[in-house]
């Protein structure tokens, strides 16, 4: 009996989504008789019954292609059960459209929000399998997510290129990288790029300690410094604030980001010429790295195995280089943050990298 498999991509795009889609498709076509349904623009497509019946030819050439052929959107978990001004019952619609599409299984590719939505659908009785995608690498239960290493490559290249202009102009350069809650990307790229200061959300920083480390570098004859800063980095004072107080404090901030605020403080206190670079969505774009192509393909192919075995309600994790089918309820709603005892933190401290604490 032919299986009908729905696939959607949700949340922010990143390198490797198409490679994972291809992995699911090629393995499924090879293992059992199936038809693949491409659902447009994430959960929005499932809510509004917007989809396309795919053919094997549609999956050719996807391995190196960035972005996602199905399109994506953000549908926050906290709004899934809310009926808003349009009057649409999102959960009801998704269940009905799953049935209309005659799906045997739904594959969701995405990050933390996607996993929460996937688990919601599992609780509603749908057959769901999730694949862990995010450049933040913050999905609980897996050592790595696809998209992360590609973003590390891009962020590291930015830092590498900044080194030459910083050295040429005797400047302090801040590179602000993505990561609101988790600092994996900034930590990896900072170590790989030789940043002198690395600031991540998990380690609140003291402005005075950052200034002190920069002052010591420049006093010792070093004519430039590089700071890798997570967009979610916070000061020790901010880390002690309640959520509402923190938002109020940030709303009063004169500068557009924490990096610009810190750059201003460095310039004012130390008199050092300081610049900020924000690569932004470049970190999400372009072709996936070979590592991510391989990882995404493995995860996609393993998803097809789970479908063949009717092993639903799982997300695919990679732990100690082995693939695991982890129950969605164990992952949904949890974040994998950088532990202060992480080996890269201790390595950074050994080579005199400042974490501002």
Active site residues: 136
Q: Is 82 exposed, middle or buried (0-12, 13-18, 19+ CB in 10 A)?
A: exposed
Degrees, nearest 5: CA angle 69-72-76:
160
Per DSSP, what are the bridge partners of residue 35?
4
Residue 49, SS3 per DSSP: coil
Q: Which two tokens stand for residue 273?
A: 């010429």
Q: β-strand 322-327 against 314-319: which pairing, if any?
A: antiparallel
- The CA distance from 354 to 352, in Å, is 6
Q: β-strand 274-277 against 225-230: which pairing, if any?
A: unpaired
Q: Is 133 exposed, middle or buried (0-12, 13-18, 19+ CB in 10 A)?
A: buried
Q: What are phi and psi of 189, to 5 degrees?
A: -65, -35
Q: Which 8-state DSSP code applies to residue 169?
A: H
Q: Which two tokens stand for residue 182?
A: 């988790």
Helix count and strand count (H, E) for the chain: 13, 11
Q: Are 332 and 80 in contact (CB under 8 A)?
A: no
């Amino acid at each position: 009996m032919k299986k009908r498999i729905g696939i959607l991509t949700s949340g922010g795009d990143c390198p490797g989504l198409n490679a994972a889609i291809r992995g699911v498709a090629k393995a499924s076509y090879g293992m059992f008789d199936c038809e693949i349904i491409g659902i447009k623009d994430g959960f929005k497509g499932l809510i509004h019954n917007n989809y396309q019946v795919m053919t094997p030819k549609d999956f050719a050439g996807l391995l190196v292609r960035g972005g996602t052929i199905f399109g994506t959107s953000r549908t926050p978990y906290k709004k899934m059960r809310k009926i808003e001004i349009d009057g649409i019952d999102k959960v009801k619609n998704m269940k009905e459209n799953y049935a209309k599409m005659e799906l045997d299984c739904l594959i969701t590719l995405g990050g933390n929000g996607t996993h929460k939505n996937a688990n919601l659908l599992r609780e509603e009785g749908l057959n769901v399998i999730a694949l862990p995608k995010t450049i933040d690498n913050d999905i609980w239960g897996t050592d790595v997510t696809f998209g992360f290493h590609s973003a590390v490559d891009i962020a590291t290249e930015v830092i590498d290129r900044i080194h030459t202009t910083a050295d040429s102009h005797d400047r302090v350069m801040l590179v602000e990288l993505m990561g609101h809650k988790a600092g994996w990307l900034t930590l990896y790229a900072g170590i790989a790029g030789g940043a002198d200061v690395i600031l991540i959300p998990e380690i609140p920083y003291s402005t005075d300690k950052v200034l002190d480390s920069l002052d010591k570098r420049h006093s010792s004859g070093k004519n430039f410094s590089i700071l890798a800063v997570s967009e979610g980095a916070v000061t020790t004072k901010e880390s002690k604030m309640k959520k509402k107080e923190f938002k109020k404090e940030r709303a009063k901030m004169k500068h557009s980001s924490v990096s610009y605020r810190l750059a201003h403080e460095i310039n004012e206190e130390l008199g050092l010429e300081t610049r900020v670079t924000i690569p932004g969505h470049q970190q999400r774009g372009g072709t996936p790295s070979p590592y991510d192509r391989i990882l995404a393909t493995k995860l996609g192919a393993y998803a097809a195995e789970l479908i063949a075995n009717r092993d639903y309600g799982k997300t695919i994790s990679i732990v100690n280089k082995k693939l695991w089918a982890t129950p969605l309820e164990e992952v949904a709603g949890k974040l994998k943050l950088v532990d202060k005892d992480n080996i890269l933190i201790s390595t950074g401290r050994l080579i005199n990298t400042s974490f501002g604490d």
